Amino acid sequence: MSDALQSELQARLSALVDPHTGQPFAEQIRLSLRGDRAAVRVQLSYPAAGWHAALVEMIEGALCHDGQVSAVTVEIDTELVAHAVQDGLSPLPGVGNVIAVASGKGGVGKSTVAANLALALQAEGARVGVLDADIYGPSQPRMLGLEGKPQTTPDRRILPMRAHGLQVMSIGVLVQVDQAMIWRGPMATQALQQMVSETQWSDLDYLIVDLPPGTGDIQLTLAQRIPVAGAVTVTTPQDVAVDDVRRSVAMFNKVRVPVLGLIENMSTHVCSNCGHEEAIFGRGGGQRMAEEAGLSLLGEIPLDAGLGRSTDTGAPIVAADPEHPVAQRFRDIARRVGARLSLQARNQTIRMPKIRIVE
C-alpha cells in the first residue's frame, strides 16, 4: 500500500468525531497498514467499555467502505488521569478525580442519580467510590444496601464500606439509623471534612460525592476545601427549576469548579403496564435549561417504577438490571460525564495508573 493511501486512511480516522466529547479523534487514533489489512490503535481518556463495539464498527466503516482495506484489527487503550482542582488544593490520597453531584433543590432524585452514575462509571471500566455528603439526610446506605459499621485501620483511618463493587462512606453508617442529626452548620461541615480526610480510599479513578440540595454550608465546604475536578447538576423538566440550576451553577463558578453538564431526571413517565412514555412534566425543559445556563445536557432519565423500586431495595437499577433501558441511559450519561471531564486540564502533581482494555 502506498504512503498516499495510508495518509488518506489516517485522515479519515482522524476526522471521525467522538460523540461523547464532540471532538475529532485527531491525535487519539493511529493506523498501520500491511498489504490490505489495517491495524488501528485508539487512545481514550474516559471509561467507555460499553461503547467499544460501536467504536470498532465506526472505524471499520471509515476504512472498508470503498474496498481498499479488507480487514481491520482495532486495539483500544484507556488511560484515566487526575484532572486539575481548585487553586491551592491537592488531590485526595487514593482518589483520581472527585465529581460532585448537586441540585438546586430537593426532590429531584439527585441521590438516585448519584448512585446509578457511580455504578455506570464502574460498569464502563473505572474504579469508583461514593461519598454521601448529606449529613442531615443520608440516602446512600439504604440505596446501596449498606449494613453494619465500617472498619478502621491501626492508625484510625476509616475503611470505606463495599457495595456492588463500589467503595462507599456515609454519615449514615457512623450513627444510628433513627438518630436525628441536630447539628449546626459548623458541626456538619466538620463531619464532612472528617469523613473526607479520614477515609482511606483505595486507587479510585472517580469519587462521586452526593451533595445535599441547595447552596449552603456543606456545599460551600466541599467547593472551597475539598479538591473537586468537576460537578454535575441534576434537575427536573419544569421551567420553574431554571433558577435552582442557575444558583447551583453560580456557586461552582465562583469557586472555579467546572460544571460538566446537566442531567434531567423524571424527564418522562414510562407506564409499567404498556411501556408508553409520556412527558408529564413538559418536554424539552432540560435542554432549555442547559442552553440558558451554558451547559451540556448529559442525558435524560425517565420516571420509571423499576428505578424507584431498585434503590429502595438497596440494589440500584444499573446493578440490579444492567440491560434495562434506564440502566443503559445511565451508562450513556456516565460516558459523557467521563468524556467531559477528560477535556479539562490535567493535574500535574499526580498521575493515575494506566488501564488498558484490548478489544
Share of the chain above pLDDT 70, in %: 84
185 is in an annotated binding site: no
pLDDT at 352: 41
pLDDT at 354: 44
Supply the pTM of this predicted model: 0.89
- pLDDT of 66-76, one tens digit each? 878 888 999 99
pLDDT at 282: 59
Exposure string over 189-222, b if 16+ CB within 10 A, otherwise e: bebbeebbeebbbeebbbbbbbbbbbbebbbebb
Indicate whether 159 pLDDT > 90.
yes
Of 135, 248, 129, nearest to 192 by C-alpha is 135
For the segment 201-225, the average pLDDT, to the nearest whole number, is 82
Helical pair 52-64 and 3-15, crossing angle rounded to 10 deg: 140
Residues with Cβ within 8 Å of residue 225, at least 6 apart in sequence: 89, 193
Estimate to the nearest angstrom the gap between the alpha carbon of 262 and the chain centroid.
11
pLDDT at 271: 66
Q: Which of 134-148, 291-305, 317-331, 338-352 is predicted with the least confidence, judged by mean pLDDT? A: 338-352
For the segment 168-184, the average pLDDT, to the nearest whole number, is 67
pLDDT at 52: 97
Higher-confidence position of 333 and 182: 333
177 is in an annotated binding site: no
Indicate whether 64 pLDDT > 70.
yes
Indicate whether 353 pLDDT > 70.
no
pLDDT at 283: 64
- pLDDT of 87-117, one tens digit each? 878 888 999 999 999 887 777 888 999 999 9
104 is in an annotated binding site: yes
Alpha carbon distance 159, 200 (integer Å) = 5
314 is in an annotated binding site: no
pLDDT range class, residue 350, cuts 50, 70, 90: very low
111 is in an annotated binding site: yes
254 is in an annotated binding site: no
Indicate whether 293 pLDDT > 80.
no
306 is in an annotated binding site: no
Q: Which domains, from first to last, does the chain contain?
A: 3-78 (3.30.300.130), 95-348 (3.40.50.300)
The mean pLDDT of the chain is: 84
Indicate whether 311 pLDDT > 50.
yes
